[in-house]
Amino acid sequence: MFGFVYSRLKTALLPEFRRAWSKDFDASVRTLQRELSHVQAELAELRLHPRHARRQGVDAKQGAICSRTSMRRLAIEPIRTHILRAVEDASVSTEPTTHTVIENIFPKDFYELVNAAIPPAELFPSRDPVKQDFHLDEHLEGAPLLTRRVWRFFDEDVVAGILAPALHHRFHAAVIDHYAETAGGDFGTRAAAIPHRGFAGRLHLRRPGYHLKPHLDPKRVVITGLVYFARPGDSEAYGTQLFRVGSRSRRARWGSSIRKMKDCPWNWRARWRSVANTLFAFVNSKAAHGATLPADAPLRERYAHQFYVKPRDGDLKKLLLELPPDVRRNWAGFLDEKSKPLD
Indicate the residue type of 66. C
pLDDT band at 339 (very low <50, low <70, confident <90, very high): low
Q: What pLDDT sits at residue 100?
A: 95
Triad 230, 233, 239: Cα angle to 5°: 45
- Report the percent of the chain where pLDDT is more than 90: 45
For 342, other C-beta atoms within 10 Å of its C-beta total 14
Residue-level pLDDT at 244:
83
- Listed in sequence order, the DSSP H helices in the chain are 2-48, 51-68, 76-89, 108-116, 136-139, 145-152, 164-170, 172-183, 187-192, 247-253, 313-320, 332-335
- Answer yes or no: are the C-beta atoms of 224 and 217 closer than 8 Å: yes
For range 318-341, the mean pLDDT: 84
Give tens-digit pLDDT for 239-265. Answer: 888 888 765 444 444 444 333 444 444
Measured CA to CA, the distance from residue 306 to residue 235 in angstroms comes to: 19
Global pTM?
0.75
Predicted pLDDT of residue 247: 58
Binned at pLDDT 50, 70 and 90, residue 42 comes out as: very low
pLDDT score, position 154 = 96
DSSP3 helix / strand / coil % (the chain, rounded to 5): 50, 20, 30
Q: Write down the pLDDT at residue 231.
A: 79
Please choose, from the candidates 249, 250, 251, 218, the residue with its C-alpha nearest in 3D space to the C-alpha of residue 330: 251
pLDDT at 21: 43
